[in-house]
């Protein structure tokens, strides 16, 4: 019995006509049936690509597009970083250049005891000063101040040429353009000076018993570091304080006309292009030192060594008599042509004369003082103040102020060391000089100016506004702020530089 199972069990090896037996049935061989090998799907041919191939192409394109976007983004980031780095570098260069100008101003301000006023307008040290040449750009700075009635000058503006809000009497402030009595009271009230202030005494009332409050108002308890704080006072605005924007930018045409300030305040008497800022300050003071930098001798000190001053013997006797009678000086100028009767040790009245006249007055004003204060706040520089400021001082008026401005032009630096020249030149008599002298100095220690830093030929620039104090050692910056929005008041570079490298309008950094 054939025991083979499956489809091929018992089949002949080959041959036509052989019978095929499948599941127990005989199949005629004539039908030529073949028995296939078991089917293997892995070896089966795949159908040709259709829609599936297009889908793959789309995916490939999307991937390429995304990769392109990533690459473009990376390029943009790299470009932005490069631009930012370049801008940052230019910003650092412009600031470093501007600070070079600030240090130049500090260096000049530190020489406060100098008799020269070349710092007012000195292009040789303040205009187009080269700081750096990196092969692509040349960086310069210029130090300048605003000038009336328009334009600029390459120099500094001294704060001592203005009235100090902490010391000026109301009557002095009311002489300034657009400062009405109501505005003055509001201003002084914000400074803690609203209380009644003693009026200046006449020349007949000034004697050895005069109180110092008659010569200068009491100091304020307020502390202002910047004149901009005036804007916090009611009715004060930018136009009143700083005038026109064109003037502050330094680009005002001197030949142009300027419309008056629009304000509701009454009593506005004049229009000033630069506003009140050119007449007011909060940071002026003069060190109580002589021109050699030595402390002055306090004439009110009984132990003071008057021999160090080399005053006439009559002046020494006059001062000793004052001490013996319990009297003091409000200011050394009171000794000018002074005559008085004092009691001697026995109580007998004796007439004394100070012996201080034209020849002795400069030494007295330079070497002597009547106070132990180290800083004399708010004194006005006789040699630099405009006529409008001088006219506000006691003992002076507009005609005298104009005469002073004209006379000081031809004086030598030696003559202008002290305010004595007002009396020596016959501009003021003794009475008027005694009134004005306590408010006067002939030196400046604090300065205001602008510094412009710029690149040639690119034209990038930065502008700083600065106030410095040169009376301290080392000198310090009292205020520094960027005002690049004002623009440049000049074409960067000198005429020769502009001819070879015409700058573009400039890019503020």
Distances (CA, A) of 129 to 133, 181, 449, 451: 12, 45, 16, 11
- Report how many domains make up the chain: 3
10 in Cβ contact with 2 (< 8 Å): yes
pLDDT band at 507 (very low <50, low <70, confident <90, very high): low
Of 372, 389, 421, the last residue of a domain is 372
Q: Round the average pLDDT of the chain to a whole number and report it.
A: 79
Of the chain, the percentage scoring pLDDT greater than 70 comes to 72
Q: Is residue 178 part of a domain?
A: no
pLDDT in tens, 331-370: 999 999 999 999 888 888 999 999 999 999 999 999 999 9
Q: Is residue 256 part of a domain?
A: no
Distance, CA of 383 to chain centre? 24
Same domain, 364 and 293: yes
Q: Is residue 31 part of a domain?
A: yes
Q: How many CA atoms lie within 13 A of 379 on its CB side?
A: 23
Same domain, 25 and 90: no
SS3 208: coil
pLDDT in tens, 227-238: 888 888 888 888
Q: How many CA atoms lie within 13 A of 114 on its CB side?
A: 13
Count the helices and strands in the chain (H runs, E runs).
13, 20
Q: Token pair for residue 137?
A: 């750009």
SS3 224: coil
Q: Is residue 70 part of a domain?
A: no
pLDDT higher than 50, residue 417? yes
Q: Token pair for residue 166?
A: 């902490």
Q: Where are the beta strands (DSSP E) in 318-475?
A: 339-343, 349-353, 368-369, 375-377, 380-381, 440-441, 446-456, 460-469
Same domain, 28 and 97: no
Q: What is the pLDDT of residue 222?
A: 45
Torsion of CA 260, 266, 272, 276, to 10 degrees: -140
Which comes out higher in pLDDT, residue 316 or 3?
A: 316
SS3 content of the chain, % helix, strand, coil (to 5): 35, 15, 45
Torsion of CA 415, 416, 417, 423, to 10 degrees: 80
Q: Is residue 132 part of a domain?
A: yes
By residue range, what is the domain housing residue 149? Answer: 85-157+445-508
Same domain, 35 and 89: no
pLDDT band at 404 (very low <50, low <70, confident <90, very high): very high
């Amino acid at each position: 019995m054939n025991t083979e199972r499956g489809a091929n069990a018992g089949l002949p090896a080959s041959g036509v006509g052989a019978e095929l037996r499948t599941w127990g049935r005989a199949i005629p061989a004539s039908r030529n049936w073949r028995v296939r090998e078991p089917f293997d799907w892995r070896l089966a041919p795949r159908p040709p690509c259709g829609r599936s191939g297009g889908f793959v192409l789309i995916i490939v394109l999307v991937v390429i597009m995304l990769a392109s976007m990533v690459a473009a983004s990376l390029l943009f980031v790299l470009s932005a970083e490069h631009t930012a780095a370049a801008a940052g570098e230019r910003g650092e260069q412009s600031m470093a250049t501007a600070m070079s100008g600030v240090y130049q101003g500090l260096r000049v301000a530190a020489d406060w005891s100098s008799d020269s006023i070349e710092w007012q307008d000195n292009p040789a040290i303040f205009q187009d000063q080269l700081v750096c040449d990196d092969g692509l750009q040349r960086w310069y700075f210029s130090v300048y101040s605003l000038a009336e009635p328009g334009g600029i000058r390459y120099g500094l503006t001294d704060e001592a040429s203005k009235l100090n809000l902490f010391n000026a009497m109301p009557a002095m402030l009311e002489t300034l353009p657009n400062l009405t009595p109501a505005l003055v009271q509001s201003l002084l009230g914000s400074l803690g000076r609203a209380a009644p202030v003693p009026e200046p005494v006449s020349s007949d009332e000034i004697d050895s018993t005069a109180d110092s409050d008659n010569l200068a108002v009491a100091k304020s308890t307020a502390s202002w570091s910047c004149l901009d704080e005036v804007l916090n006072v009611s009715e004060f605005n930018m136009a009143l304080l700083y005038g026109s924007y064109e003037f502050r930018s330094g680009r005002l045409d001197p030949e142009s006309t300027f419309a008056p300030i629009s304000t509701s305040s009454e009593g506005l008497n004049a229009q000033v292009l630069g506003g009140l800022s050119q007449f007011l300050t909060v940071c002026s003071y003069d060190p109580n030192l002589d021109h050699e930098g030595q402390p002055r001798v306090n004439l009110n000190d009984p132990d003071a060594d008057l021999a160090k001053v080399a005053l006439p013997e009559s002046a020494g006797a006059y001062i000793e008599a004052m001490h013996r009678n319990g009297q003091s000086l409000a200011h050394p100028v009171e000794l000018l042509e002074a005559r008085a009767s004092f009691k001697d040790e026995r109580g007998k009245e004796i007439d004394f004369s100070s012996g201080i006249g034209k020849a002795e007055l400069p030494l007295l004003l330079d070497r002597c003082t009547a106070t132990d204060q180290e800083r004399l706040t708010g004194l006005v520089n006789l040699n630099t103040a405009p006529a409008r400021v001088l006219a506000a001082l006691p003992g002076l008026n507009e005609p005298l102020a104009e005469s002073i401005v004209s006379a000081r032009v031809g004086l030598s630096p030696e003559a202008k060391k002290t305010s004595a020249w007002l009396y020596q030149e016959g501009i003021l008599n003794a009475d008027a000089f005694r009134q004005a002298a306590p408010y006067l100095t002939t030196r400046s220690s604090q300065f205001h100016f602008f510094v412009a830093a710029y690149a040639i030929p690119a034209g990038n620039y930065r502008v700083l506004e600065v106030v410095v104090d040169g009376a301290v050692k080392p000198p310090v910056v009292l205020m520094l702020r960027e005002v690049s929005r004002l623009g440049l008041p000049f074409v960067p570079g000198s005429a020769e530089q502009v001819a070879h490298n015409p700058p573009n309008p400039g890019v503020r950094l």
